[in-house]
Amino acid sequence: MSLLRIGILGAGGIAERAMVEPSRGVEGVEVVAIGAREPSRAEAFAERLGLPIAGDYERVLSDPSIDLVYLALPPVVHAQWAVRAVEAGKHVLCEKPLSANGTTAQQIADAAAAAHRRAFVGFHYRLHASTVRLLEVLRSGVLGAVQSVEIDFSIPHFVVKPGNIRLDGDLAGGAVMDVGCYAVDLLRAAWGEPEVLSAVAELYDADPRIDLQTDAQLRLPGGIPASVRSSFIGDDTGAMVMRVTGSDASLEATSVIVPQWGATLRVTAGDEVLIDEKAAEGENSYARQLEHLRDVLADGSPSILDADRAVGTMRVVDAIYRAAGLQPR
């Protein structure tokens, strides 16, 4: 097995949680480099976590031993650095969402194709066994004719505080960008391309470009109505739930965004419980993502994380913002 060597741009917490920590349990993958705008931050990160290469962004991009660059950066700069990465001969994994909007997302996909490199989006949850099972059940017909879909991805109100980059319009923040993109991706995976009918946003007083909460109404193929809530102002427990009502049975899935936090899947028909499952302990969606990238880069097979597909998700996100009276990021 050839070794996939990874360099990171961005020394924030997500780089450690989503890349360095899970890589240590994945055969054939090694994180070897960290780059930051301030090289001193990268050096401190590398020393603490035992990475051999540290410096600025160019130090990572110019290293010929690095195969893939992970962008742990705000989405507003993804296009700039993803293009630089593929032009430097690297594959690239963008932390979700792929980019700030559909236009710049397309730029990433086009640049990767032109450079004969691969570009991916970090929808890690798609690789977890719980999500694979959820999609399997949704496609199985056990629900009968699907009548409605409801997704509520609400972060508890005390998590996203002033100063958080998710509340910065200059950095393409907002609730739909942060958690709504998962909902759009999941709808597209299960049913195909949705049509955005309407949306209402509650805005952040300190930066009215930012949606603290957006409720969107969509129509799925076959005319199925879907409602999506994306929120930074959820209750004390928050929500990562999908509910689907069918003619024969109803489904509820929890912890959809981060399945390793105890995802559950329950299907009921009246008082009868048809499916009642919980995610197995120990499986990590970020580790599954690394295994997946290692394998598709080795054999050249298509990926559900490919940038070409993720462009469509960003175009739906753009449409939700427009429907809410906001400019796409």
- Residue 29: phi and psi, rounded to 5, are -130, 135
Rg (CA), the chain: 20
Q: What angle do CA 250, 199, 213 make, to 5 degrees?
A: 85
Catalytic residue (one of 90, 96, 161, 278): 96
- Return the pLDDT at 85: 98
Tell me which residues of the chain have a pLDDT lower than 70: 1
Active site residue 278: no
Tens-digit pLDDT profile for residues 216-225: 999 999 999 9
pLDDT value for 2: 80
- Write the CB contacts of 222 (distance below 8 Å, at least 6 apart in sequence): 146, 191
**pTM of the predicted model as reported, rounded to 2 decimal places:** 0.96
pLDDT at residue 1, rounded to an integer: 58
